[in-house]
Homo-oligomer: A and B are copies of this chain.
Amino acid sequence: MRLSTGKRTRLHRMLYEHGPANGTLMILPIDQGLEHGPVDFFDNPAAVDTDWIYRLAVEGRFSAIALHVGLAQRYHAAYAGRVPLVLKVNGKTSIPSDDEPISPLTSSVEDAVRLGADAVGYTLYVGSPAQDADILQCNEIRHDCERYGMPLVIWAYPRGAAIKAKGGQDSLYAVDYAARVALEVGADVIKLNQPKHNAATASQMPKPYDSMNPDELDALRRVVRSAGTCLVLVSGGSKLGDEDTIHKAHVAMQAGCVGLIFGRNMWQREWEEAMKMSGRMHELLKGYTQED
């Protein structure tokens, strides 16, 4: 990758100085309180305390923690230097309709610089009828990232009424398109959901996706290819059983992803379970060392 000195320095910190530190990434996201509400903490009530999450990030040896400015300002100082910060700069609630979604800014790249962050995260709702405003807002963030040497992680999420009508947000069509859009608009790292085949809605996808049905590994490989030379992270999504979680991580790494960004699959487990899962992730990621 040809990156500016600032971006290279910050990415290096996440890739080679924290977490597995072998060129893979294991990021702990905790923006679900805004996106889904406190309900996500019901299974493991300890997780409503961001301090608990931070301890997990540090003791579970994550490459970075990803959250909004409110949490970063209140909780990060106690862990400063011990886990890199990905400042999530936009977000929204799930309360009103998701037909024309856009996530407004909750902070700025300058906030990220001030807080010592090593990257910013931006949610781009690919295919939303509000894409005009979304891409424009993303462009402003990208511009500031360029200015400050801040890596840009794009949460490339297909969403909105048109996506629903064309096979849904997890369809190969949607995820594949989203990966490419993130590449084109200037992501350094792309966070994606694994595409899932849904027999009930497959025929709604545009041609020729409607007649394609690759296995999960091939599907993800396609998507990774569409992301070009961007680093790709796979989201964990809602909580899975232990083996399913590990399987998902395995597929991601086999498909060529740089790592994992699993939130609920980490902190919806109790402490010991979460630490155990984090250990298994480390074990798995060891097998995918990328030279510096």
User: Contact residues of A with B, CB < 8 Å?
Assistant: 1-2, 31, 33-34, 37-39, 41-42, 48-50, 67-71, 73-75, 77-78, 91-93, 95-97, 102-108, 111, 126-136, 139, 142-143, 146, 158, 160-163, 166, 173, 176-177, 179-187, 206-209, 222, 225-226, 228-230
Contacts and interface: CB of A to CB of B under 8 A. Distances in A.
A256 to B, nearest CB: 13
Given A108-B143, A131-B96, A186 B70 contact: yes
A200 to B, nearest CB: 20
Given A48-B226, A70-B185, A93 B33 contact: no
20 contacts: A2-B77, A2-B78, A34-B184, A37-B173, A38-B180, A48-B226, A49-B225, A49-B228, A68-B185, A69-B185, A70-B185, A91-B135, A92-B132, A93-B126, A96-B127, A97-B162, A104-B135, A104-B139, A106-B185, A132-B133
A33 B142 contact: no
Contacts of A67: 184
Contact of A50 (B41, B129, B181, B228): B228
Contacts of A74: 1-2, 183, 228-230
A121 to B, nearest CB: 13
Given A37-B177, A127-B96, A31 B132 contact: no
Contact of A166 (B50, B95, B179, B222): B95
B70 A162 contact: no
A45 to B, nearest CB: 8
A230 to B, nearest CB: 7
Nearest to A107: B139
A68 B182 CA distance: 11
Contacts of A142: 69, 107
A184 B96 contact: no
A34 B181 contact: yes
Given A74-B228, A229-B74, A230-B74, A176 B131 contact: no
Nearest to A33: B180
A107 to B, nearest CB: 6
Contacts of A166: 95
Nearest to A100: B96
Contact of A39 (B111, B182, B206, B230): B206
A128 B183 contact: no
Contacts of A41: 226
Given A69-B186, A184-B33, A97 B129 contact: yes
B92 A135 contact: yes
A27 to B, nearest CB: 18
A95 B143 contact: no
Nearest to A41: B226
